[in-house]
Chains A and B, each alone.
Chain A
Amino acid sequence: MLYPSQAVAKPYFITAIALFAVQVLFGLIIGIQYVMINIPFITFATAKLIHTNLLIIWLLFGFMGAAYYIIPEESEQELYNSKLAVLLFWVFLALTIITTLGYLLLPYATFAKITGNQFFPTMGREYLEQPTIIKLGLFAVLCGFSYNIAMTILHGRKTMINLLLLVGIVGSTIVFVFAFYNPSNLVLAKYYRWWLLHFWLEGTWELIMEAILAYIIFKITGDRAIVEKWLYIIVAVTLTTSVLGIGHHYYWIGVPEYWQWVGTIFSVFELLPFFFMVLFVFNVVNCTKCQYSNNAVKLWALSTPIMAFLGAGVLGFLHTLAPVNYYSHGTQITSAHAHLAFYSTYVMIVLTMVSYAMPILRDHKVINHGISQKLEILAFWLMTVSMSLMALFIAIAGIMQIYVQRATEIALPFIEIQNSMVVMFWLREIGGVVFFIGVIIYITNFFMVKKKYGTR
């Protein structure tokens, strides 16, 4: 570790991984509820709420940890205010715990009432279910985080990587303002909700992901010039395609028909950043003499763009054309895309960063002990293969669903449609169990190896 303030990243990474495990556990609960409805103690709605909300939260923890680790090194100076970073960590953790407990222990309507949602209603929208007061807390955390990162960069060296990270972070903070506007007109409400979700997931978060990937590839190859050259191309393509690509969220919400053309055309081009990312990573690796010894990080870093191309790019493209989306909208196809896209684009990049930074933060020098590397690589394959298969099974279920529910004169009753997909739901659950085993192995390698082999 070059700068002591980078150590701030450690609690962020640990929390991110712990919440990741909890999120996957709730995914398993939802999966089993698809096929065996009566699970005591928790409803489907609550489990899904926690599954999707924790995903956003732990990824934010991961991004914050990554930024606190990368920025001092790239800026060649200590973090502007380490104490603020630690304080924000505890505030963010408290907000997360309170929200999750609220979801678990109270009926959602009661939770909304006691948090004063009636005075400033922002709750009840998918992914934005958090109470208004929690959203305000999260906004404060994001503002403090942006300020800390911006001031560090302002006082230090400016590189393409840290500036891109800054744009992604500040952009995410600004876009979060849309979470506080929830007009009674449903079409307008959808607009603002998508302006937040789309511009996070297909805009600012993508920039953060690209910056982290570029940093890791730079660390692996040691060639900053070629990394930055590619980064310019990828960022340009990301920004030019993602802004109007938002049209694919407007298709059936009550907006003018021309959005179908805009959404279709620009969404097709949204594949390009992922295409260039694969090309970038493999071109850089081919052009340089790679001496880097952490094989787990290399595996994560090289696989991330490939999986992102498949999950975010191909599965997204599969149902982004308006005439196709007319049938596939809101079916299991969307779920397949969401699962593989989130995993490949954001989960994998955070895990790449954790795998890179944690051995250094834990004073193991560059890599963990041999057995830890093997465990981590095993975890990688278990998680990646099982998630790919899960996405495949859900996509196949989606095709069945479209056939019996949408592309037909008379749709089957809802329960019959669900029954027609039950085999795929079981296969998905098995995939989920394997994925969870992968997560456990991933976590285990951090604990057991240190105990058994010592730190050096």
Chain B
Amino acid sequence: MEQGNIFINQGISEIPDRKMAIIAESLYLLNLLILPGIAFLALVWLFIKYDNVSTRISGCHLRQTFSASIWVGLLLVLVTWVMLSTMNHDSPYTWMIVIPYFVICHSVLVLLGIMGLAKALAGKKFHYPIIGPSS
């Protein structure tokens, strides 16, 4: 179990590295599933507070989930809003595009989050494909 019980530093000594990674991934999933916005704000707070002091596992998960959550907002809120505001609400074709887009996009983002959480539980790094920062 890589870095499983190593403490990050004195400032956040009560949060082990792996636990921080798990919290970050959980907040990403909570933002997508039951606490949209609130969980994202908690993740932002965590990112601002601990990004500079966290070690490589938790730092990786914090950066990945923070970046992915911003993409979540763009893909699920902004793009959907743009589609709904530019397309005709009275046409079935609008809903034939918007609903599948939202469902597929949301499901894929959730699945990525589950895989990230599985990596965090195993104390390993995870890189979100396309929506996660490369470093």
Contact = CB atoms under 8 A, between A and B. Distances in A.
A282 interface: yes
A403 B114 contact: no
Contacts, number: 49
A395 B97 CA distance: 11
Contacts of A287: 1, 121-122
A399 B114 CA distance: 28
B95 A403 contact: yes
A403 to B, nearest CB: 4
Interface in B52-68: none
Nearest to A287: B122
Interface residues on B, range: 10 to 19
A286 B117 CA distance: 11
Contact of A399 (B92, B111, B121, B124): B92
Q: Is the interface of B mostly helix, strand, loop or mixed?
A: helix
Given A306-B111, A403-B95, A404-B92, A396 B100 contact: yes
Nearest to B99: A399
Q: Is the interface of A mostly helix, strand, loop or mixed?
A: helix
B92 A400 contact: yes
B23 to A, nearest CB: 15
A318 interface: yes
A309 to B, nearest CB: 7
Interface string B85-106: 0000000100110011001100
15 contacts: A275-B114, A278-B111, A278-B115, A279-B117, A279-B118, A279-B121, A282-B119, A286-B118, A286-B119, A287-B121, A287-B122, A310-B107, A314-B103, A399-B92, A404-B92
Interface of B: 1, 92, 95-96, 99-100, 103-104, 107, 111, 114-115, 117-119, 121-122, 124
Given A399-B99, A404-B92, 19 more contacts: A275-B114, A278-B115, A282-B114, A282-B115, A282-B118, A286-B118, A286-B122, A286-B124, A309-B111, A310-B111, A314-B107, A318-B103, A392-B100, A392-B104, A395-B100, A399-B96, A399-B100, A403-B92, A420-B92
Interface of A: 275, 278-279, 282-283, 286-287, 306, 309-310, 314, 318, 392, 395-396, 399-400, 403-404, 420
